Chains A and B, each alone.
Chain A
Amino acid sequence: MSDVPSGPGPRQAPATGSAAGPGVAEEQLRDVFDALATSIHGASDRYPAALADWRRRERRRRIVLAILAAVIFAVADIIGLWALSRADVNIHIIFDDRPGSSTDAPRGGIGPPP
């Protein structure tokens, strides 16, 4: 246990005033935390495996995002094409120049041909 690096460890920071009262001393708490912490050993040379894991997850995240964007784009396209294919060819949404379809005669003399 003694060969384990103690990590950040206590720096003996000045206390901001004992909030403990007579029950739990701050030093007692520090001792318990230290005892627990020094019993925990991290695996050495863990970084290469962790980096490989991060790269794999990042690649997978980007692939999933790209697939999701492609699927949303394709679905929007399909819905648009389906809506257009269901529309009546005789009904023009923007320009309607069928005879008699004009309701009011333009006052300025400008408008669709009769």
Chain B
Amino acid sequence: MTQQVSSRPLAPAADPAPAELGPAGEHLAGLAREAALARLFDANHTSLLRLAVLLGAEGEAEDIVSEAFYELYRRWHRLRSHDAALSYVRAVVCNLVRMRVRRLQVARRHAEQVIESVGSAEAEVLLRDDQRALVEAIKRLPARQREALVLRYWLDLRESEIAAAMGISAGAVKSHTSRGMATLTRLLEERR
């Protein structure tokens, strides 16, 4: 799968490049990368999986998160700092889910039948009626607005963090959040 990933957290690494260290140094750098990745994976895999599902990945969430971690594994030495790793993976997950949503929209436009999501979290979890209506409204939001709302109200990220994850400006984040809430309100009022 090829994708455009946000390159903001990527920059020439502060650590010396493995090529300058020789084979032994490269091996050590590889081990350090895998150890750091193991910690990051154990600490954040489930939350990233949930993020992907909330953004609309549904059955492909596991693949998307796996792909995001692989991108991090591949570009580990280009990270600006190791603290940027989580925000980088989050940005990749957002981009991959957005690509999936667009792909499905194109497929639905060209197909006669509606493609039903199988085994989605929305179908399995027990929700009240008002919550279920809200979930339906969230599913009808444009991808960017949904991303902004999930990152803002579930992950409680700051605007700058949301902007980094979505690859847009802080002003655009405010705009997407505000429009998303307005759209949700309108959809719920139409339903009543």
Contact = CB atoms under 8 A, between A and B. Distances in A.
Contacts of A83: none
Interface string A14-32: 0010011111101011111
A34 interface: yes
B190 to A, nearest CB: 11
Interface stretch (A49-57, A63-71, A72-80, A94-102): A49-57
Contact of A35 (B45, B49, B74, B127): B127
Tell which of A12, A30, A50, A51 has the most Cβ of chain B within 10 Å. A50
Contacts of B158: 13
B15 interface: no
A13 B154 CA distance: 10
Interface in B36-60: 37-38, 41-42, 45-47, 49-50, 53-54
Contacts of A22: 185
Contacts of A36: 50, 53-54, 121-122, 125, 135
- Of the four ranges (under 10, 10 to 19, 20 to 34, 35 or more), the interface on chain A belongs to 35 or more
A107 to B, nearest CB: 55
Contacts of A19: 177-178, 181-182
Given A12-B156, A23-B184, A28-B134, A37 B66 contact: no
Q: Is the interface of B mostly helix, strand, loop or mixed?
A: helix
Nearest to B186: A23
Interface residues of B, number: 47
B149 A29 contact: yes
B159 A47 contact: no
Contacts of A12: 156
Contacts of B88: none
B96 interface: no
A68 B62 CA distance: 31
A23 B133 CA distance: 12
Interface of B: 34, 37-38, 41-42, 45-47, 49-50, 53-54, 61-62, 66, 69-70, 73-74, 121-122, 124-125, 127, 130-131, 134-135, 138, 149-150, 153-156, 158-159, 174, 177-178, 181-182, 184-186, 188-189
Interface of A: 5, 7-8, 10-13, 16, 19-24, 26, 28-37, 39-43, 46-47, 50-51, 53-54, 57-58, 61
6 tightest A-B CB contacts, nearest first: A23-B185, A7-B47, A42-B46, A33-B154, A39-B125, A19-B178
